[in-house]
Chains A and B, each alone.
Chain A
Amino acid sequence: MDKDFAARRRRDLIIAAVLAVIAALTPLFVKDVVVQNILILTLMYAGLSQSWNILSGYCGQISLGHALYFGLGAYTTELLFTKFGVLPWFGMLAGGVVSALIAMGLGYPFFRLRGHYFVIATIVIAEIGLLLFHNWEWAGAAMGITIPIRGDSWLKFQFLRTKLPYFYFALALCCLAWFVTWWLENSKWGFWWRAVKDNPDAAESLGVDVFNSKMGAAAVSAFLVAVGGSFYAQFVSYIDPESVMGFQFSLLMALPAVLGGIGTLWGPVLGAAILIPLTELTRFKFGGSGRGVDLIVYGTLIVLISLALPRGLLSLFSRPKKTGAAR
């Protein structure tokens, strides 16, 4: 049995490596900028959703306010860059740390809430964050921040003539989030998180530090999402509150995981691979008037998934466990 388990872990790692190599080679064949753009966003959302999944899927603390951390990552990076000339790479790190700290600060009161009340709190907090940035003059308020273009450079992480560097960064982020999840899955934290999700009282009786488990999950999750946010800011080179902290980002982090299989290693990647191209294509097809069509797509998918496959698409692939037979 131990051998089965180790083999499964190794198999996951090999599949991930193969997929990463295939993904890394796609730009050789895909020259179309629109398609490259979709690939970048797909990888980014896969990474974001994977990070969201750590807190909400594994630890069971459903957050619909992760846009806050995404926006904080973007703002920290760009404020440091435009106001103090700090390179985006350091800004990215700073954004991650700021978000992780804020996630823990918010967790302190809110992790005492259970179930729906926690979800509501996350939505409200993210909206408050959005409003604060809307009114914060120094941070550009509603006008936002335009990132000054100084020409293609890895140092400043900005590229005008090619999208490839962004593509590889998004791929790296996705791989990082996946690998962190893979690694944590078979660690004390991973087990603690799942125990907390399933039954906090029982977890407590088994020596699990329930509160700090949640805090740890929130910090890791927020850090990775913030790195994604700061990448996105560099990628689009203009940010305003709505475009990096809007509620749609919270949805776009949650939906791929829910679609693919919440609390699973592969769910977010699978979900993002289906959902993001679909929404980007509908948006592209319907142009400016298409705003709202992507929402119809989300809605329909969610209804279908919750009716037919409440454990996500991934449950199609896992062999049902024999309940009667003992091995």
Chain B
Amino acid sequence: MTALLETRGVWQRFGGLVANSDVSISVGRGEIVGLIGPNGAGKSTLFNLIAGVLPPTQGSILFDGEDVTHMPAAERCQRGVGRTFQVVKSFETMTVIDNVIVGALVRNTVMREARRKAHEVLEFTGLAARADVLASDLVPAEKRRLEVARALATEPKLLLLDEVLTGLTPTEAQTGVALVRKVRDAGITVLMVEHVMEIVMPLVDRAIVLDLGKVLVEGKPADVVRDPKVISAYLGDRHAVGA
């Protein structure tokens, strides 16, 4: 079976800055893949290219066997790409349920069904009790959760999570981890950008480490964290020598 997502030789330049250079990765169906790397490694750029915020300068992106390189974000969503935002972008003047209904409308044209789907997703993500609260009144951890709920309501094949576990308390992060597992168990492939290694490593099946816009290492989390190249990218060369 072909990979669900594949990038082939993707480059992204912003003026003189090369944010991604020759990035080729693939994500298989049913995997949880972590995209990690130090600050400025080009994770968010790659993430935005996959979500369709902008087309890459060079290279191509394949989703579900189809070339989506130049497809706008809204159409990718219809094809089955769901995403969250690193800086949460809730619909602040709408209630939690209404936020999720917007996502559910992608696959449900009848309002009644979209509403039912939205309730289902709120149940799944543990937000059901907050359905009628305005999104602006949620606490930060709930807003993150709402991002996930909204994306799930679009019934994606691939869910892109942009630092959903960052900045949470340890307990909140643990419930977040449980939710990501639950999402995968529901048959949805997950690609997550994450900063906090100790949370993300036990969770993912595979980790891709980016550094300076390039794929540095790719493999099982346990191997990746021991890789001298990764240690040197994160901590500097001095620490890598001893490893």
Q: Which residues of A contact B (CB under 8 A)?
A: 1-2, 4-5, 186-188, 191-192, 194-195, 197-199, 201-210, 263, 321-323, 326-327
For residue A202, which residues in chain B have a CB less than 8 angstroms away from its CB? 85, 89-91, 150
Residues of chain A lying within 8 A (CB to CB) of residue B141: none
Question: Looking at the complex, which one of A5, A194, A204 makes contact with B93 (CB distance below 8 Å)?
Answer: A194
Cβ of B134 under 8 Å from chain A? yes
Q: How large is the interface on B (under 10, 10 to 19, 20 to 34, 35 or more residues)?
A: 35 or more
Which residue of chain B is the closest to A209 with respect to CB atoms? B74
Q: Which residues of A contact B153 (CB under 8 A)?
A: 206
Instruction: Give 20 new A-B contacts, CB below 8 A, not counting A188-B105, A198-B91, A327-B132.
Output: A191-B98, A192-B102, A194-B93, A195-B102, A199-B89, A199-B91, A202-B85, A202-B89, A204-B73, A205-B73, A205-B83, A205-B151, A206-B151, A207-B78, A207-B106, A322-B133, A323-B133, A326-B129, A326-B130, A327-B129
Decide: A194 near B91, CB < 8 A? Known: A186-B111, A187-B111, A206-B103.
yes
CB contacts (< 8 Å) of B106 on chain A: these are 206-207
Chain B residues lying within 8 Å of A206, measured Cβ to Cβ, are 74, 77, 102-103, 106, 150-151, 153-154
Residues of A within 8 A of B91 (CB): 194-195, 198-199, 202-203
Given contacts A2-B115, A186-B111, contact A207 B93 (CB under 8 A): no
CB-CB contacts of B44-80 with A at 8 A, as 1s and 0s?
Answer: 0000000101000000000000000000111101100
What is B's interface to A at a CB cutoff of 8 Å?
51, 53, 72-75, 77-78, 82-83, 85, 89-94, 97-98, 101-103, 105-106, 109, 111, 114-116, 119, 129-134, 137, 150-151, 153-154
5 cross-chain pairs, A with B, having the tightest CB-CB distances, nearest first: A207-B77, A198-B91, A202-B89, A326-B129, A207-B106
* B contact residues around A192 at 8 Å (CB): 102, 105
Most buried by B among A187, A204, A326: A204
The answer to whether A207 and B89 touch (CB under 8 A), given A188-B105, A191-B102, A326-B130, is no
Name the A residues within 8 Å of B131 (CB-CB).
1, 327
How many angstroms from the CA of A210 to the CA of B103 in the assembled complex? 13
CA distance A187 to B115 in the complex (A): 11
Contact indicator A203/B102 (Cβ below 8 Å): yes
B85, B109, B132, B151: the one contacting A201 at CB < 8 Å is B85
Closest A residue, CB atoms, query B91: A198
Whether the pair B132, A321 counts as a contact (CB closer than 8 A) is yes
A1, A204, A205 — most chain B CB neighbours (10 Å): A205
Say yes or no: A197-B111 contact (C-beta < 8 A), given A206-B150, A323-B137.
no
